[in-house]
A and B are shown apart, each in its own frame.
Chain A
Amino acid sequence: MASVFTATRSVRAARAARAARRPTSSTRTLISDVSLNRRRGKIIYRVVLTLVIVAFTLAFIGPLYFLFSDGLKSTQEAIATPPTLYPHHVYPGSYVQSWNRLDVGLMLWNSVYYAFGALAFQLVFDVAAAYSLSKLRPALGNVVLFLMLATLMIPTTVLVVPQYVTIANLPFFHWNLIGSPEAIWLPSVANAFNIFLLKRFFDSIPADYIDAASVDGASRLMILWKIVLPISRPIIGVVSIFSLVAVWKDFLWPLLVEYGYTPTRETLNVGIWQASVGTPQNLLIAASAMAAVPTIVFFLIFQRNIMAGLTAGGIRG
């Protein structure tokens, strides 16, 4: 009904809506367009809009401005009282010095290595598990699924100690994984949220597709590869983005299992924290700025997917 109504709306209204640059127009919100179009409404709206834009820009871009500009100050200017609002003497050397002194390149490489390795492990094992639970349905599959989802109730930070002890001496295998990248990669696979999202999506794939393929003699691996994965590209994108960001932002675990083993295994997060004592302020801020660049760029490229994933893919604390 609503769509018929919008379709029969006059062309002028449609043009007006487009002029207001509103992507989806027909749904009304708390305040109706009518009251906004009154003279008083218009004025209040303009004022509020301006205030919101100014306040948000100050609150969210402001700190980022200082993150990037304070690294351009000399050490003396960075710790001057009162602080300067912009570098009076631009000193790009801080970035070079910071890069060399804190070995930001190494931290960056470590973070990339851990994050993408964890992503690869998660994609292989979690996709396979979700496929099995959704489409192959082995005996006891529901018990396994329940036990996996139950871990969502128990936050990981609570388990750092037994996890650490387990990683240091893996049962049956007696491997000590401390200091190896697997210490980050393998635990990241135990992510019930990934399994949940993937399984829910796989459940929605019509069984006819899979039955048709298996009548044609396709193996289960072939079905996963040729049918399930291509259909599931959106959800795999969501899972990948959140997996990468989670490992990238993680702090305590890499601090314990990698930095605790040898400082050269430090990730960006750990390295910046470690440098926060005894590093001149301008170099520290410059390093923080460099550490922030990859995720900011990543976000600006994938912002649509990230935001859609955040709201459509479910809720992540």
Chain B
Amino acid sequence: MANAVTSVARRTAAPTVAGGRRPGALLPRARRNAGAWGFLVGAVLCFSFFSWYPIVREVIMSFQKPVYGGGNTWAGWSNYVRIFHDPTFWQAWRNTLEFTVLALVIGFAVPFVVALVLNELRHARGYLRVLVYLPVMLPPASALVLFAYFYNPQYGLFDDLLRLLHLPTSQWVLQPGTGFVSTAMVSVVIASTWMNMGSATLIYLAALQNIPGELYEAAELEGAGILRRIRHVTIPQTRLILLLLLMLQVVATMQMFIESFVLTNGGGGVGNNTLSVVMLIYQYAFAMSGASNYNSASALGVVLMLVLAVFSGGFLWATRERG
């Protein structure tokens, strides 16, 4: 509606400018634009300096190298060659994929099932919703310090529980080993899921509440059991939100940083077995002793940016085709 009115305003303004051919007629329009840009300029400057320019600059920096004594010079692909030859680069990618897959298996299914169950309950829903969302509000470092305490092999709660059940104890995050489902990474995923599942759960819950009840009614009359009703009513009806959250979650988990950073004191675990790509960017840029190298870090940033862009683009394309 707003559009319609403004376009009417534009149409009435246009003839005077075009038909009148008076130079002065341009002035009100210019003034109107200047005023509108006055409201816009603060945000545009912030976007320019802190979002648009850094995107361009990351690409530029990835092809540069510092010159002794100050300044930069072009370096061709050498930063990329260097990071591709770094064994840690491949390990960080492998770990990040491991985290993403595990976080999907645990962190994607759990909130949906929880939302399904919560939606069926007729009591205590407010209480349970608050509970699920509470960890999202904690400062992540607080939650992770607490999990590090639970995971502690000497005085941690989790090993104590295992001992109580006469099960072999574990080193949790500090467990060595780099198998694809390593104990260390599973520990990171558990902490991460606990911290983050609240928002996904509430979004699913809202989506479930929008499913028309008649669909369930009809399915039940046709003799569909609970599982078939989930399969044929719930999932198709929430498909869009499921796919969207799936994509957002993959993009978010590929950028995992604080979980492993706090649980392993910034180290990346035993033999780097929980080191993520963003942690490696941090290490390249800020934590390598002596030569901090913004350029290698930028190259790695560009690679991550491309991977995420290709993933989201491909995902959107693949899901659009079927729908």
Contacts and interface: CB of A to CB of B under 8 A. Distances in A.
Interface string A282-317: 001100110110011011100100110011100111
Nearest to A189: B46
Per DSSP, are chain A's interface residues mostly helix, strand or loop, or mixed?
helix
A217 interface: no
B128 A245 contact: no
B141 A270 contact: yes
Contact of B257 (A45, A163, A251): A251
B52 A147 contact: yes
Nearest to A220: B35
Contacts of B54: 159, 162-163, 166
B297 interface: yes
B145 A285 contact: yes
Interface stretch (B20-28, B81-89, B156-164): B156-164
Interface string A116-155: 0000000011101101111111110100100110010111
Interface stretch (A7-15, A28-36, A88-96, A229-237): A28-36
A80 interface: yes
A32 B205 CA distance: 17
B142 A289 contact: yes
A306 B133 contact: yes
B55 interface: yes
B308 A155 contact: yes
B199 A316 contact: yes
B131 A61 contact: yes
B74 interface: no
A147 B46 CA distance: 13
Per DSSP, are chain B's interface residues mostly helix, strand or loop, or mixed?
helix
Given A56-B128, A154-B305, A82 B39 contact: no
Nearest to A299: B137
B128 A53 contact: yes
A311 to B, nearest CB: 4
A153 B312 contact: yes
A138 B33 contact: yes
B255 to A, nearest CB: 5
B294 A292 contact: no
B52 A162 contact: no
B105 interface: no
B154 A81 contact: yes
A128 B257 contact: no
B50 A166 contact: yes
A298 B148 CA distance: 25
B206 A273 contact: no
B139 A249 contact: yes
A72 interface: no
Interface string B16-54: 000000000000000011011111101110110111111
Contacts of B261: 251, 273
B140 interface: yes
B43 A67 contact: no
B145 A295 contact: no
B146 A63 contact: yes
Contact of A291 (B50, B139, B147): B139
Contacts of B282: 160, 252
Contact of B142 (A22, A151, A292): A292
Residue of A30, A64, A163, A260 with most chain B CB atoms under a 10 A cut-off: A30
Nearest to A300: B130
A285 B146 contact: yes
Contact of B43 (A126, A153, A204): A126
A269 interface: yes
Interface string B40-73: 1011101101111111011001000000000000
B134 A144 contact: no
B97 interface: no
Interface in B296-321: 297-298, 301, 304-305, 308-309, 312
A249 B122 contact: no
Nearest to B121: A49
A83 B150 CA distance: 10
A53 B140 CA distance: 25
Given A67-B142, A190-B51, A260-B286, A299 B206 contact: no
B135 interface: yes
B285 A164 contact: yes
Contacts of A251: 140-141, 257-258, 261
Interface string A69-94: 01000000011111100000000000
Nearest to B241: A315
A190 B50 CA distance: 7
Given A21-B123, A147-B52, A203-B2, A252 B257 contact: yes
A239 interface: no
A93 B199 CA distance: 36
Contacts of A292: 138-139, 142-143
23 contacts: A20-B123, A27-B212, A30-B230, A30-B234, A45-B122, A53-B124, A63-B146, A70-B149, A78-B155, A79-B155, A83-B155, A129-B39, A129-B44, A132-B40, A161-B61, A190-B47, A272-B141, A273-B144, A277-B265, A288-B142, A292-B138, A295-B138, A299-B134
Given A22-B122, A63-B135, A138-B36, 19 more contacts: A52-B117, A52-B128, A63-B150, A126-B43, A129-B40, A131-B39, A132-B38, A138-B33, A147-B47, A160-B282, A162-B61, A165-B294, A166-B54, A190-B51, A192-B47, A207-B6, A249-B140, A285-B145, A310-B202
Cβ-closest 4 pairs across A and B = A138-B36, A129-B43, A136-B36, A28-B213
